[in-house]
Structure 1
Amino acid sequence: MVKNKYPELDAFGPLDSAPRSDLDEAEQIRANARLQQILAVDPDNGNTGNGTIGRRRSKPARRIAAPIALAAVAAITATAVILPGSGNNDAAYASWNAVPSSISNQDRAVADAACRGQLDLSAPQLDLAERRGEWVVLLYTASEHMAGMCLAHLPAGTQKADNIDFSKGGGDQGFLPVAGEFTQGNIAEFRGGNMFGVSERPEIALTHGNVGEDVAAVTITTPDGQLVKATVQDGKYAAWWPGKAFGDELEGNGGPAPDISYTITLKDQTVIEDATPRKPA
């Protein structure tokens, strides 16, 4: 056995969290997969130049390595995480409402112009837009089953959107629900903070998916018990809320599992509580 050249470092041995024995085959496979995930991520993570807490662009869940402890990631069909820039606080979301309202054509056009250039999607198609207080969300789809959501601060009638954040990831994965089915698409958490863990904004969660032709309404129960009515339009739904989407449990891939549930209302007024989303085959 080779002795430590610096014996005084032996005192740190008990603090070493690395395994004391060789990894078995399964553990080695998981370790190699995790290494590839880390190496695959852009080291700048899409930072737009606002320093250590600048806006960061999301990647599909299977390619994300969380850069700070506040990040969370999981995968159902696909999930994304965003670490937005500073500039917002708790009061910014005081106008948020669990029931969405429609957005005027003028406001939709202003938000679309602000969001479209930042999504990094190939020929994005705007599928859905909703308003909750002073904030709007736009849902886009693109080629290769990609989807993106853009959150922007845009009080009604104003000419410029600000505080724009967005997520991007796999969309329908080539699977479209029928009848009373629905899918769970990307789930994203916007978490504010810097490298020292000092919060700059409250947590925000967004999600979207597809619905079959018989689905009239989608209501999401959040981890803290809020009931959030999604906007349902042209076979798609989207919603967002101040708060979390993930819980403490882990999925099989090691990421945190979503802690939300769904109530589906069909066009014949049938209500399906704790409904299970369909997943791609």
Structure 2
Amino acid sequence: MTRTTDSLATLRTLDPADSDVDPHTPGARATLERILATDPGQRHDHEPAKARSRRGVRVVAVASATVVTAGTVFVVIPSLTGGDDAFATWTAVPSSVSSEDAADAAGDCRDAQQDGPAQAGGTAPDFSDDLRRAELAIAERRGEWTLVTFAGTGGFSATCITDESAPLFRDWFGSIGAPAAYTAPGPRDVVATDLGAGEADAGELSVAAGIVGSEVTGVSYRSASHGEVVATVSGGRFALWFPGDELDGAGGAGVGLHVTYRDGSTAELRLDLR
């Protein structure tokens, strides 16, 4: 029996209709790793994978398709069953997450990042120690999707955007990394850690996230397709995302953000990754 056939046979044993299957067990997680490892299109030599490359970014293979830009590694893990197709439930204004759900989402994100992108290997940096020391800064929900962001020293950041509606092996898009040179923002400044576009099972998505000064209480982006997208601002960080590739190339070209300060005043800031 070939490895691919073996993986397909294993996958059939995880039929979501089987109520006895728990996708969070070590066995289910191990099966996911076997499926990813036997993907015939997967590369393990860390050379650029051209199929998903985009202008201004470099795509490499580390356990799954990843995008590396400005010191940040982006990773996409596809769902195998179900999910929120085309981000149908997404909302421009985020909702809060209960402390229990936030803890669960943070634990899943930390585990997923630690098992893969944090220890990318090859020429990619190892962020496993940074991830272990980082603290949860943001937990938000947009429809069926949760976003969590971890914050660490030196501008380190790790984020997961996850479709919570998928019953098995949830679709998620993540980033992890730190800038080569970091200067803490002033009280009314905003510094980008993530800025650009990527792809999940549900389609393309745009992300803007970063570090805010102590006087910044609100951040939003005026999307041509979705109107005003409101960020969550918490723990000295901000994060927003929306469907589509509108921010593709924004890391170099920059993007305008509307910022609100503690005294009620506002400003328009230009944000980029340079």
* Pair in the same fold by TM > 0.5: yes
Give yes or no for contact 1:139–1:147 (8 Å, CA) kept in 2: yes
> What does residue 48 of structure 1 align with?
36
Report the count of equivalent residues. Answer: 212
> What does residue 136 of structure 1 align with?
146
After TM superposition, give the deviation of residue 233 of structure 1 in Å.
0.9
> What does residue 116 of structure 1 align with?
110
Alignment gaps of 5+ in structure 2: 1-34, 58-67, 119-127
> What does residue 185 of structure 1 align with?
193
Give yes or no for contact 1:207–1:239 (8 Å, CA) kept in 2: yes
Cα–Cα, structure 1 residues 170 and 222, in superposed 2: closer, same or farther, change >3 Å? farther
**Which residue of the other structure, out of 75, 78, 85, is the alignment partner of 1:85?**
78
After TM superposition, give the deviation of residue 257 of structure 1 in Å.
3.5
Alignment gaps of 5+ in structure 1: 1-46, 57-62, 193-199, 250-255
After TM superposition, give the deviation of residue 207 of structure 1 in Å.
2.5
> What does residue 242 of structure 1 align with?
243
Cα–Cα, structure 1 residues 261 and 278, in superposed 2: closer, same or farther, change >3 Å? closer
CA RMSD after TM alignment = 3.7
After TM superposition, give the deviation of residue 242 of structure 1 in Å.
0.9
User: Whose Rg is larger?
Assistant: 1
Distance in 2 (alpha carbons) for counterparts of 1:83 and 1:140: 18
Which residue identity does 2:36 align to in structure 1?
Answer: T
Which residue identity does 1:108 align to in structure 2?
Answer: A
Distance in 1 (alpha carbons) for counterparts of 2:47 and 2:245: 19
Deviations 1:38-89 (A, max 9, x none): xxxxxxxxx93362577x9xxxxxx994532454545985454444435577
What's the secondary structure of 1:118's corresponding residue?
helix
After TM superposition, give the deviation of residue 147 of structure 1 in Å.
1.6
How is 1:160-179 mapped onto 2 (pairs within 5 angstroms)? 162-170=170-178, 173-179=181-187
Q: Does 1:212 align with 2:200?
A: no
After TM superposition, give the deviation of residue 173 of structure 1 in Å.
4.3
Give yes or no for contact 1:177–1:183 (8 Å, CA) kept in 2: yes
Give yes or no for contact 1:223–1:244 (8 Å, CA) kept in 2: no
What's the secondary structure of 1:186's corresponding residue?
strand
What's the secondary structure of 1:112's corresponding residue?
helix
Distance in 2 (alpha carbons) for counterparts of 1:276 and 1:97: 24
Q: Does 1:267 align with 2:262?
A: yes
Give yes or no for contact 1:172–1:209 (8 Å, CA) kept in 2: no
Q: Alignment identity in percent?
A: 23
What's the secondary structure of 2:51's corresponding residue?
coil
- Which has a greater percent of strand? 2
After TM superposition, give the deviation of residue 188 of structure 1 in Å.
4.7
